[in-house]
Amino acid sequence: MQEITKEIIVKDKAAYLPVFNRYQIVLDHGEGAYVWDVEGKKYLDFLGGIAVNVLGHNYPPLAEAVAEQAHKLIHCSNLYHTRQQAEAAEKLARLSGLEDARVFFGNSGAEANEGAIKLARKYAHQQSPDKSQIITAWMSFHGRTLATLTATGQPHYQEGVGPLPAGFDYVHYNDIQELESMMSEKTCAVLLETIQGEGGVYTPQGDYLKQVRALCDKYGALLILDEIQAGIGRSGCFFAYDKYGIKPDIVTLAKGLAGGVPIGAFIARGEVAKAMQPGDHGTTFGGNPLACAAANVVLDLVPQPSFLEQVTIVGDYFREQLVALQQKYPDLIAEVRGTGLILGAELSKDAIGGEIVNECLERGVIINCTVGKVLRFVPPLIIVEDQVDEMLEVLSQVLSKYA
Ligand SMILES: Cc1ncc(COP(=O)(O)O)c(C=O)c1O
């Protein structure tokens, strides 16, 4: 490790709250699907800031839009209209396909989900103050604020910070019977990730989401889909729910929406959105012109059929190659899951995931391991087959040590 890396890590450790187990490298700049550290070492990035850098790094139209907007107006209060926000909202409302859709911008995924939960509660309270139950899934991830970590069906995120907001229940994702057994007229909303990311990359099986939609309609509950990780083209559809043939009442987005500039959004169909009136919700920074200028670049490019088609083509290729890797190392890879460019390889052995990620990093490849044993791949959406091969070649070399 060079002096420059040491110096920055020491400074960071002395000042930054130690909530992340960080890798011992300091990133400096990027280009396309590659990033470089301060020592000049190059890495192929198959994490993309955890599903954020959808257009890759240093994408000229995005960098230029941000720079141009920074010279004009970085921020103004949401008490005023801006062209950038109006355009971004209009595009999202149209793309969502939700009837008379309304969009609210925040700064992160957690904020988007907080807003969605709050809107659902407000809407349901109009019918009855008892209609407050929110059902979410085990192994879900919805954020780190109090309501969203309560919505997150992984108890370890909730330890030591109680009392937690009331009214949340959990079911197993893909188990429709269990969901039905939990629902009643008191169910306010069902909140699910269209594709579970953080929990280990699980896609909805068969008609699961259609059946969830039907149960929500039966009990007058809202369906909130969290597409913070799976949305923005990652599944090969701009909204992953379009892949599964349903529409939610509310959808949440963040991560890739502005290609790396902080933003979050919830989009609700008009009748639901009416439950929020002036003064009911707000934000200082959310949807400011800088973030929306970036979002507009993403929203002009990613929904294009040719872009989404390419995500599907590369994603299918990637998945096939992962299955081939599984066949090569049947004792190491238990299952390959996912779709488009949200893919996971579940390892058969616990505790080697972290080592595999570290060894790939040493060899210049950034991947991620979630829930301790699922290698998760959420690369920039602009990756090409050769880069998939490049990453898998390194991963295969690393796996061979454990076979
Ligand atoms: C599905 C999902 N929802 C919500 C969040 C929270 O987003 P943020 O970290 O921007 O608050 C994440 C982050 O990983 C996520 O993957």
pLDDT at 296: 99
Determine the atom of ligand 1 nearest the C-alpha atom of 144.
Answer: 11
Residue 136 near ligand 1, beta carbon < 6 Å? no
Q: In what order do the strands lie in the sheet with 374-377?
A: 333-339, 342-347, 374-377, 368-370
Q: What is the overall mean pLDDT for the chain?
A: 98
Q: Is the pLDDT of residue 318 over 90?
A: yes
Helices (H), 248-384: 270-273, 289-301, 305-328, 353-362
Q: Is the pLDDT of residue 189 over 90?
A: yes
pLDDT at 272: 98
Residue 288 near ligand 1, beta carbon < 6 Å? no
What one-character-per-residue DSSP string does 105-144 give?
EESSHHHHHHHHHHHHHHHHHTT-TT--EEEEEBT----S
On the 0-12 / 13-18 / 19+ scale of CB atoms within 10 A, 66 is buried
Model pLDDT for residues 195-213, shown as the tens digit of each residue = 999 999 999 999 999 999 9
Residue 198 near ligand 1, beta carbon < 6 Å? yes
Indicate the pLDDT class of residue 331, thresholds 50, 70 and 90.
very high
Among candidate residues 131, 243, 255, 373, the one labeled active-site is 255
pLDDT at 197: 98
- In a 13 Å sphere around the CA of 292, the CA atoms on its Cβ side amount to 27
pLDDT at 389: 98
Residue 255 appears among annotated catalytic residues: yes
Determine the atom of ligand 1 nearest the C-alpha atom of 254.
Answer: 10
Q: Which of 299, 305, 301 is nearest to 92 (CA)?
A: 299
Q: Is the pLDDT of residue 403 over 90?
A: no
The span from the CA of 117 to the CA of 148, in Å, is 9
Q: Which of 112, 157, 146, 150 is nearest to 134 (CA)?
A: 150
Which of 136, 142, 263 has most ligand 1 atoms within 8 Å of its beta carbon, as the pocket-test mutant?
A: 142
- Predicted TM-score of the model (pTM): 0.98
Q: Which of 123, 137, 77 is nearest to 268 (CA)?
A: 123
Kindly calculate the radius of gyration of the chain based on its CA atoms and give it in whole angstroms.
21
Model pLDDT for residues 236-281, shown as the tens digit of each residue = 999 999 999 999 999 999 999 999 999 999 999 999 999 999 999 9
pLDDT at 350: 80
The span from the CA of 200 to the CA of 152, in Å, is 14
* Eight-state DSSP code of residue 258: G
Task: Name the residue ranges covered by the structural domains of the chain.
Answer: 62-301, 305-350
Q: Is the pLDDT of residue 2 over 90?
A: yes
Model pLDDT for residues 364-386, shown as the tens digit of each residue = 999 999 999 999 999 999 999 99
Instruction: Find out whether 296 and 86 touch, Cβ atoms under 8 Å.
Output: no
Q: From the CA of 108, how far away is ligand 1's center (Å)?
A: 7
For the residues 167-186, what does the mean pLDDT come to? 98
Model pLDDT for residues 30-85, shown as the tens digit of each residue = 999 999 999 999 999 999 999 999 999 999 999 999 999 999 999 999 999 999 99
Residue 42 appears among annotated catalytic residues: no
pLDDT at 351: 82
Residue 227 near ligand 1, beta carbon < 6 Å? no
Q: Which helix (H) or strand (E) holds 147?
A: helix 146-151
Q: Which of 370, 362, 369, 371 is nearest to 394 (CA)?
A: 362
Residue 226 near ligand 1, beta carbon < 6 Å? yes
Q: From the CA of 229, how far away is ligand 1's center (Å)?
A: 7
Percent share of the chain, pLDDT over 90: 99
Q: Any idea which architecture 62-301 has in CATH?
A: 3-Layer(aba) Sandwich (3.40)
